[in-house]
C-alpha cells in the first residue's frame, strides 16, 4: 500500500466517524433509555402539579380582586395565571367583564370570544351587549 492510499483511507474513516457522531448527536428521533424516560415523565408530572397550584393561587387572588372591583389587579393576576399554560372559560369571561369595566372594549371583545369558544354561553350575550352599546 502506498502513502497516498493510506492517507485517503484515513481521511474517509475520519469523515465517516465524524458524520456518524454528528447524526447521532443531533438526531431528534434517537431513542432514550428507560431511566431517562422515567425521569422525564416525573419532571413533566411535577411541572404539571406546580402549574396547577400556581394557576389556582393566582385565580384565587384574581377573583378576590374582582369582588373588590379592582379590575386592573384582576387582569394582572389572570395574566399570571395564564402564564402557567392553564385556562378556563370563566377566566376569560371575567376578564371580559374587567376589560369592559375599565373601558377597553377591544380586549373585552377578545376575552368574551375566547370564553364563548371554550363553552361559556353567557359570553355570547356579553358580545351582543358590546356590539349594541357602540
Find how far residue 19's CA is from the centre of its chain.
36
Inter-axis angle of helices 34-67 and 71-82, nearest 10: 170
Q: Decide if pLDDT at 29 tops 70.
A: no
C-alpha cell at position 8: 485517503
Count of CA atoms in the C-beta half-sphere (13 A) of 45: 6
**74-86 tens-digit pLDDT:** 999 999 999 988 8
Between vectors from CA 16 to CA 13 and to CA 17, what angle results, nearest 5°?
Answer: 85
The CATH classification number of 51-132 equals: 1.25.40.10
Domain boundaries, the chain: 51-132
pTM of the predicted structure, to 2 decimals:
0.66
Per-residue pLDDT at 133: 79
- Which one is predicted more confidently, 104 or 39? 104
Q: How far apart are CA 86 and CA 52, in angstroms?
A: 7
Amino acid at each position: 500500500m502506498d502513502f497516498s492510499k493510506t492517507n485517503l483511507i484515513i481521511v474517509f474513516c475520519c469523515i465517516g466517524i465524524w458524520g456518524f457522531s454528528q447524526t447521532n448527536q443531533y438526531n431528534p428521533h434517537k431513542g432514550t433509555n428507560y431511566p431517562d424516560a422515567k425521569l422525564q415523565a416525573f419532571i413533566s408530572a411535577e411541572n404539571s402539579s406546580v402549574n396547577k397550584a400556581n394557576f389556582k393561587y393566582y385565580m384565587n387572588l384574581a377573583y378576590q380582586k374582582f369582588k373588590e372591583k379592582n379590575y386592573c389587579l384582576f387582569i394582572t393576576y389572570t395574566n399570571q395565571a395564564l402564564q402557567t399554560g392553564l385556562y378556563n372559560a370563566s377566566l376569560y369571561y371575567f376578564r371580559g367583564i374587567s376589560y369592559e369595566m375599565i373601558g377597553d372594549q377591544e380586549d373585552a371583545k377578545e376575552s368574551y370570544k375566547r370564553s364563548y369558544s371554550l363553552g361559556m354561553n353567557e359570553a355570547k350575550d356579553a358580545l351582543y351587549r358590546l356590539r349594541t352599546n357602540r
